Structure 1
Amino acid sequence: MSLNVRIDNVSKKYGTRTVLDSISFSMGDGEITALLGPNGSGKTTMIKMLANIHEQSEGTISINDENIRDIDPVDLAKLVGYVPQQFLFTPYSTVFETVLLGRRQYIKWAVTEEELNRVQNSLDALEISHMAGNYMDKLSGGERQKVFIARALAQEPELFLLDEPTSALDIKYQIEVMETMRRITKEKNKSMIVAVHDLNLAYKYADKVVVLKEGKVAAYGNPHDVLTPECIKSVYGVDSFIVENEHGRFIMPFKAN
């Protein structure tokens, strides 16, 4: 299925406070777009509006030229897989049962062998099959985060929305999760919008970045073009330089202003 996502002049206000102001960007099949910016810049609010949890105050969010407010919730759940920073879960449910919930919009009367296989494939992709029978309340924060990402994979959406998916993970698992999501988006021609703090993760894995500052788009484009020392200083108040070697290009912050 072909996918086109458009955010046109979207604003979000809470009373007199403007959280997001005239945000516009677009993306297509197989693209990863990273939302960047300091705390309070509006990244989570943007993700929640894309997931149709919060309604924008102005502007339009559309998927394949259809306003998301007009898409049936069941159909939207098949199109969009959302992984928030904090996920409510049933303490006495197992990992397998939690991931199976990602298939709920497809299950009619009974869970089929096909549904079980899709859940198993998602567990395998995140390398957590060994935890399938573990109870959710016995897992660490990082382990739970991988379970919720597996649940989104089991959903098989066209668009993944991930809000700080690596925040509870150590460095190894941050890289593993981003490698997995990039592989899935490219191999299956899916799209992903991910809010992240780590500039180097965005630098390495994103096709486009949207840099937010005080609710506005400070920069948008290819990460190598956009994430310059000048941009980083303007948005984050940090001096930095770019290092390039046989492993790629990296952002090295060294002084706060």
Structure 2
Amino acid sequence: MITLENVHKKYSNDVAIGPVSISIPAGGITALVGPNGAGKSTLLTMVGRLMGIDEGTISISGFDVASTASKDLAKIVSILRQENHFVTRLTVRQLVGFGRFPHSKGRLSAADELIVSRSIDFLDLGALEARYLDELSGGQRQRAYVAMVLAQDTEYVLLDEPLNNLDMAHSVQMMAHLRRAAEELGRTIVIVLHDINFAGHYADHICAVKHGKVVEFGTPAEIMRDDVLTRVFETPVTVIDGPRGPLAVYY
């Protein structure tokens, strides 16, 4: 479980996150949704300790994020931010191998190599593992970064807008991979999404953030409602019955 208790982060007199108190259950996918600038990515980076907090506490599986040693925290939670730009020219396999650093310290064992191979295969990258990242399409490159995070072999995985710059087909493919990771690998995935319909279809829980605060939290059935989504996104939303579940229509 990921627990935030009275978490605050203040940028200025007008911009702040919090107070946020919420428990995100272990297992499955929890989607963070909300308007642009709501604080979704900031919350995620604070949970992953890439940004400090001014007040409150954040714990993951009972470990205090602020006080747990980095080498130990890296074996509990992994995070992928939006900005993924390696200056060094790397192959897919080399990139995914970086995910093993908390365990190998840069010296990959046979067991590490096996986990790297499994992560590459899980994201259907076997045919591309010797290719350089700059030779890949955007969708292929994004899968490689997610494979790197999975190779870290943590129970908790934090993903900041992994569908960014992906077309519809690659977005569906990515969400299907993440759904499998949650179900088959037992990962707890917390993901920032812009598309509420992806959240409604693939997530187990949806956390709606607005003005730096959590304003709604529940199952897709509880969140995918006209009144809730209209209130969160401040635009008229109608939820209709789609062929595979509820769909939000904006107008």
Give the TM-score of the pair, scaled to structure 1.
0.92
- Superposed counterparts of 1:42-191, under 5 Å: 42-107=39-104, 110-191=107-188
Deviation at 1:187, TM superposition (A): 2.4
Deviates more, 1:232-241 or 1:72-81: 232-241
Aligned-partner Cα distance in 2 for 1:108–1:145: 24
Q: Deviations over 1:4-50 (max 9, x none)?
A: 21011211111434331211211233131111111100011111101
- Give 2:247's aligned residue: 250
Query: How far 1:66 moved relative to its partner?
Result: 2.6
Deviations 1:73-101 (A, max 9, x none): 01111111111111131341111101100
Could you say what secondary structure the match of 2:75 adopts? helix
Structure 2: give runs of 5+ residues left out of the alignment.
none
Q: Secondary structure of the equivalent of 1:232? A: helix
Task: Tell me how far 1:138 sits from its aligned partner.
Answer: 2.6
The one-letter amino acid paired with 2:35 is: P
Structure-2 separation of matches of 1:37 and 1:110? 41
% identical equivalent positions: 33
Cα distance change of structure 1 residues 198 and 74 upon mapping to structure 2, 3 Å threshold: same
State whether residues 91 and 136 of structure 1, in contact with CA within 8 Å, keep that contact through their aligned partners in structure 2. Answer: no
Tell me the distance in 1 between the aligned counterparts of 2:20 and 2:224: 19
Report the Cα distance in structure 1 between the residues aligned to 2:226 and 2:56, rounded to whole angstroms.
Answer: 32
What are the ranges of 5 or more consecutive residues in structure 1 without an aligned counterpart? none
Structure 2: distance between partners of 1:176 and 1:167: 13
CA RMSD of aligned residues (A): 1.6
TM-score (norm 2): 0.94
Contact 2:200 2:220 in 1 (8 A): yes
User: Equivalent residue of 2:104, what SS?
Assistant: coil
Distance 1:37 1:163 in 2: 13
Amino acid at match of 2:89: Y
Equivalent in the alignment of 1:224: 221
Query: Quick check: 1:83–1:161 contact (8 Å CA) kept in 2?
Result: yes
